[in-house]
């Protein structure tokens, strides 16, 4: 048996959306030490240019890797992954797992052969989404919609703030009111923030719709890549890191603790 290895997994997102991935990782690897990084200093990513994200993310993850010495980094953010994943992998000498829109699983379960991709503006316009659609959903109508507001709603909900049904309905309408939107029976949540409010989206949907995301697949990939490594004998309190000073409200502190992130610090 290899000696106990205390090196953490580092999960990175523009905000708190990556907690949806952390939830799946915790289920797969309950004793894994976790450092969760929210880049509130650069938030939101979805409205930034590709050049800004491609420059910021590899440099920032380089700093984080030096500071926290992780065994693996997960970019738990669709926007950062679709734009900067190759740059991060080129810059860092450790495994890096990205997040991609769950178009393949959406196509696998669609009965109507019409699926939606709900993400940020930056994600849904990427050629990578064209490629995934062609490879895995070639026989499907694939509609896309970018919603910066839905990211804000997820962030607010995790802070314990009220969020109105009408705003969730507007985000869905941007997808379902497109030509062919009445056929959509599955929606890929192509932003890690969105699974955190999937129940709210389902509650305002005009008909039963299946929502899918990639968190489970990401967790399985991390477990595979670390399969020959050892872990501490018991879970340790996780660390939440913010890249800019933040007065953490009580609601957010409670939410982070619910995901096992009991210590909070600024980079």
Least Cα distance to 40 among 18, 9, 67, 65 occurs for 18
CA distance 44 to 176: 24
**CB 15, CB 155: distance < 8 Å:** yes
Task: Report the Cα 132 to chain-centroid distance in Å.
Answer: 17
Most distant CA atoms of the chain, gap in Å: 58
Indicate which residues carry an active-site annotation: 77, 191
CA distance 73 to 15: 16
**CB 135, CB 208: distance < 8 Å:** no
Beta bridge partners of residue 10, listed in sequence order = 35, 73
Q: Which residues contact 211 (CB under 8 A, 6 or more apart)?
A: 186, 187, 189, 194, 195, 198, 201, 202
Token couple for 14: 């523009």
């Amino acid at each position: 048996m290899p000696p106990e290895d205390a090196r953490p997994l580092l999960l990175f997102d523009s905000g708190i959306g990556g907690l949806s991935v952390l939830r799946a990782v915790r289920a797969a690897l309950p004793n894994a030490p976790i450092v969760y990084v929210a880049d509130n200093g650069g938030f939101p990513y979805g409205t930034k240019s590709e050049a800004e994200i491609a420059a910021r993310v590899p440099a920032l993850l380089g700093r984080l890797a030096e500071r926290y010495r992780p065994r693996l980094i997960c970019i738990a953010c669709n926007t950062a992954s679709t734009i900067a994943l190759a740059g991060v992998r080129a810059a860092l000498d450790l495994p890096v797992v990205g997040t991609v829109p769950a178009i393949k699983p959406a196509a696998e379960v669609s009965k109507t052969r019409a699926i939606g991709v709900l993400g940020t503006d930056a994600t849904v316009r990427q050629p990578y989404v064209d490629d995934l659609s062609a490879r895995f959903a070639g026989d499907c109508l694939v509609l896309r919609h970018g919603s910066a507001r839905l990211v804000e709603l997820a962030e607010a909900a995790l802070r314990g703030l009220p969020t109105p049904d009408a705003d969730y309905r507007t985000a869905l309408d941007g997808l379902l009111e497109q030509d062919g939107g009445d056929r959509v029976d599955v929606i890929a949540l192509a932003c890690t923030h969105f699974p955190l409010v999937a129940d709210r989206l389902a509650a305002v949907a005009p008909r039963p719709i299946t929502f899918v995301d990639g968190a489970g697949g990401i967790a399985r990939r991390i477990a595979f890549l670390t399969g020959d490594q050892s872990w501490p004998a018991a879970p340790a309190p996780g660390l939440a890191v913010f890249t800019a000073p933040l007065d953490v409200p009580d609601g957010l502190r409670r939410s982070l603790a619910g995901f096992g992130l009991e210590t909070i610090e600024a980079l």
